[in-house]
Amino acid sequence: MYSWNTTIDDTSSAILFTPYSEGPIESGWAGWFQGSVTQFASTGGEQAIGDSLHITSFPGASLQLQFNGTAIYLYGKANCTYTITLDNQFIAVPLSLPDGLLFYQESLAPTTHSVQLTAQPDVNSTQQLDFDQAIFTNTIDQDTNGLVPVVYENWNGTLQYSGNWANLSGVNWIPNTQDPAPYVETNQSLSSVSLTFTDGVAIAVNGPRNWGHWTYNISLDGEVTSWNCSTLWGIGDTVLFYENSLDPTKQHTIEMINTGTQDYYKLSLNYFTVYALDNSNGSVASTSSTTASVSSSTAPLPPSIATGKKTDVGVIVGPVLAGVVILALTLFAALWWWRRRRPAPRQDPVAPFPKNDRPEIWVKGQEAGISRNPMVRVYEPIQAPIVSVKRSAARTSISAPSVPSAETHASDSGLSVSQTRLLPSHSQQPSISNSQSTGAPASMPTLDVNQLVELIAQRIDPRTNIPQGDAPPQYPASSY
């Protein structure tokens, strides 16, 4: 069995923000970038620079992620309460968490899960919640030396293009400022790009997100899902789609389709990444990379992509790949020799809390030079549902408890974490009684003798009480 961690940043389309992902934080979520000019986008398409957060101070704002794995970790900071729903079940938030961690759950079944975080800041307050990233643990029931990422750049001949795509370059922040590269873009509805591959256990699609981008569909082996790529920022590269439950023994096909209905709605692509198992000391990496560089003569590529790219890339990649393989084999041999000289250590589990070097939490007014008090992390438990308890048959007076009572909640993750919530005590509580007063009234009404005789007669012959002219009661119709 082999496990690895996958990080999904807050800029990814895989995170669903509600009611919206970009806008005023008082009514939803807003993207924040540490190194950008205004930190919050002031104009559409502002370049996103530095570490990012999604921030909200709106009660009820939520984020949702669907993942396939055995553990989930949500990172960020908050000075307000929030709730967690995992697979439609409310999960109590532990009172004590490592700094920068909003929630985590381990020992999950190796299947598809859905996690949702809902912020509950006080109305008209400075409370807010900042979401940074999600990390989940992937597990495959096979022994392997690791995963080999096989990258299919947007100009690779293996990709099948349909519709009108343009090969664009010259944007120094796509995919990033350190290594800008060409990308492809379409504004034609239903234009698509697809890839057929084998040996993969996971697949990722990366591309830019920018002002003017809209919706798209992903079809993976015939299963179609819809996504939203719109944003106020110019983000050079982020995960547009990720799936890690693939069978490496089967062939898979993935297709990305532009579903924007107007010519000003765009969709862009940087590259596909197939993650293959490394079961033979590097041979999978060599074979997969070779497969990735093979071009198809029938692949309908954009004209600017199909000219002069494959030969140049092959000449460059061949020697580099050979050197990488030789270096990898050398390092593996050295590592093998070193391990034989010392006792085998106990294998550590996947680190649950990766290093968090994100910026300090943003405080409203900070960009204008307004100083605020430091934010205090407050974690309050989810309010337990009120359970109706039937009263006993014998109704007697109930007195209120004289001391506060406590409720203890245990986490479903198997963690030995408990939390205590004090319930307010009541000095006085109404009494509940079923007894009735039997005392005689102060005075009794006086009955005339004639009235008494009449009452006795009515008791003996009640027919005199029947109103005249009323019809007799109706009986139900015979069923025979």
Q: Does 443 map to a domain?
A: no
Q: Give me the residue label for tokens 């022994």.
A: 143
Q: Does 314 map to a domain?
A: yes
Tell which residue, 68, 49, 69, 53, has the closest CA to residue 17.
53
Task: DSSP letter for 464, please.
Answer: G
Backbone angles phi, psi at 322, to 5 degrees: -60, -45
Residue 410 in this model has a pLDDT that exceeds 50: no
User: ω into residue 19 within 30 of 0, thus cis?
Assistant: yes
Task: Average the pLDDT over 399-419 and give the result.
Answer: 32
Both 220 and 129 in one domain: the answer is no
Tokens for 280, please give them.
């033979």
User: How high is the pLDDT of residue 369?
Assistant: 33
Greatest alpha-carbon span in the chain:
127
Q: Does 480 map to a domain?
A: no
The Cα–Cα gap between 72 and 87 comes to 12
Q: Compute the half-sphere exposure of residue 275: CA atoms within 13 Å on the CB side of its CA.
A: 20
- Which of 366, 384, 402 is a domain's end point? 384
The Cα–Cα gap between 13 and 33 comes to 17
Domain limits for position 120: 1-141+354-384
Q: Does 414 map to a domain?
A: no
pLDDT-based confidence at residue 300 (cuts at 50, 70, 90):
very low
Backbone angles phi, psi at 382, to 5 degrees: -70, 135
Q: Which of 116-120, 155-159, 392-396 has the lowest mean pLDDT?
A: 392-396
Task: Average the pLDDT over 429-444 and give the result.
Answer: 35
The Cα–Cα gap between 293 and 54 comes to 38
Residue 384 in this model has a pLDDT that exceeds 70: no
Residue 304 in this model has a pLDDT that exceeds 60: no
Contact 83, 120 (CB under 8 A): yes
- Give tens-digit pLDDT for 144-187: 889 999 999 999 999 999 999 999 998 999 999 999 999 999 99
- Which of 319, 338, 372 is a domain's end point? 319
Q: Does 408 map to a domain?
A: no
Q: What is the CATH number of the domain that holds 243?
A: 2.60.120.260
- Give tens-digit pLDDT for 239-296: 999 999 999 999 999 999 999 999 999 999 999 999 999 876 544 433 333 233 222 2
pLDDT-based confidence at residue 116 (cuts at 50, 70, 90):
very high
pTM score, whole prediction: 0.60
User: How high is the pLDDT of residue 42?
Assistant: 79
User: How high is the pLDDT of residue 127?
Assistant: 96
SS3 282: coil
Both 73 and 125 in one domain: the answer is yes
User: ω into residue 175 within 30 of 0, thus cis?
Assistant: yes
User: How high is the pLDDT of residue 451?
Assistant: 61
Listed as own residue / partner, the contacts of 324-328 with beta carbons closer than 8 Å and 24 or more positions apart are: 325/282, 325/285, 325/286, 328/282, 328/285
In degrees, to the nearest 5, what angle opens at C-alpha 52 toward C-alphas 51 and 53?
140
Q: Does 413 map to a domain?
A: no
Tokens for 378, please give them.
């407050």
- Give tens-digit pLDDT for 37-87: 888 887 889 999 999 999 999 999 999 999 999 999 999 999 999 999 999
Residue 223 in this model has a pLDDT that exceeds 80: yes
| Orientation of helix 283-293 relative to helix 310-340, angle to 10° | 170
User: How high is the pLDDT of residue 454?
Assistant: 60
Both 217 and 241 in one domain: the answer is yes
Both 166 and 92 in one domain: the answer is no
Task: DSSP letter for 40, please.
Answer: B
- Give tens-digit pLDDT for 185-219: 999 999 999 999 999 999 999 999 999 999 999 99
The Cα–Cα gap between 169 and 166 comes to 10
Residue 103 in this model has a pLDDT that exceeds 50: yes
User: How high is the pLDDT of residue 453?
Assistant: 56
User: How high is the pLDDT of residue 189?
Assistant: 96
User: How high is the pLDDT of residue 341?
Assistant: 57
pLDDT-based confidence at residue 328 (cuts at 50, 70, 90):
confident
| Average predicted confidence (pLDDT) for the chain | 72
Query: What residues pair up with 177 in beta bridges, in sequence order?
Result: none
Both 122 and 163 in one domain: the answer is no
SS3 411: coil
User: How high is the pLDDT of residue 51?
Assistant: 95
Both 171 and 45 in one domain: the answer is no
- Give tens-digit pLDDT for 4-29: 999 999 999 999 999 999 999 999 99
The Cα–Cα gap between 281 and 333 comes to 10
Q: Does 324 map to a domain?
A: no
User: How high is the pLDDT of residue 343?
Assistant: 46
Q: How many domains does the chain have?
A: 2
In single-letter form, the type of residue at position 361 comes to I
Neighbours of 188 (CB within 10 A): 17
